Structure 1
Amino acid sequence: MFTPLALLVAALCLALACWAAWFVVADRAVVLRQLWGGAVVEGVLLLQAVVLAVVQVRGDQDVDGLLLWGYVVTQLIVLPVAAAWAFAERTRWSSVVLLVAALTVAFLELRLLQIWAA
């Protein structure tokens, strides 16, 4: 796996989580700019999935494919579901949902790094 890309994903997720936490403290709902931030993270996740697929097809790394792709697919699903939920829920709790989703993707990314290194 391309480690700088993985660290970029984790950093973007943590930045999005901090932004959402600020809105939680301020008792505000998610704004469209935050959802666009989530879309940027999702784009980087898609790029990472393509890179992982190419590296795995070339056979450069021997990892458990089911475990690896389980994490990749889960990452790709979490933010869009959270964004839809946050868009529908126009209260402070939408910011909580986005915060939890961003932290979840960040931790899944760190777990992907561990799986790849094993």
Structure 2
Amino acid sequence: MSLHGAPTSAELIESVREWIERDVMSSTEGRLKFHSRVAINVLAMVERELAMGEQQEADHAARLELLGMSDDARFAQAIRHGDLDDRLDEVRAILRADVDAKLAVANPKYLDGPT
């Protein structure tokens, strides 16, 4: 149940992205076609963030909590001050998981590695 009902924000974004892909891209060229591709990529990123972002935020907070950190600022400060030097494997694992989460939204193809 949603206060705003259907279509949802995610559905609206998907519709605009699909319209650009189907109708705009096929009838444009040059600069406008390039900007259409950029718009498609941006909308796809927003779709993925809407779909995954809440869970990613919860997962990130849980990872920080494993190190006893309340937020990113405290985590960064602890790294800068060397407070976590004895836990570098854990720090690397958290940072890797965070980068993977960001890539899953920004461009999931980068998670596949070189082709």
Query: As a proportion of its length, which structure holds more helix?
Result: 1
Larger Rg: 2
Ranked by relative contact order (alpha carbons within 8 Å, sequence separation 6 or more), the top structure is 1
TM-score (norm 1): 0.35
TM-score (norm 2): 0.35
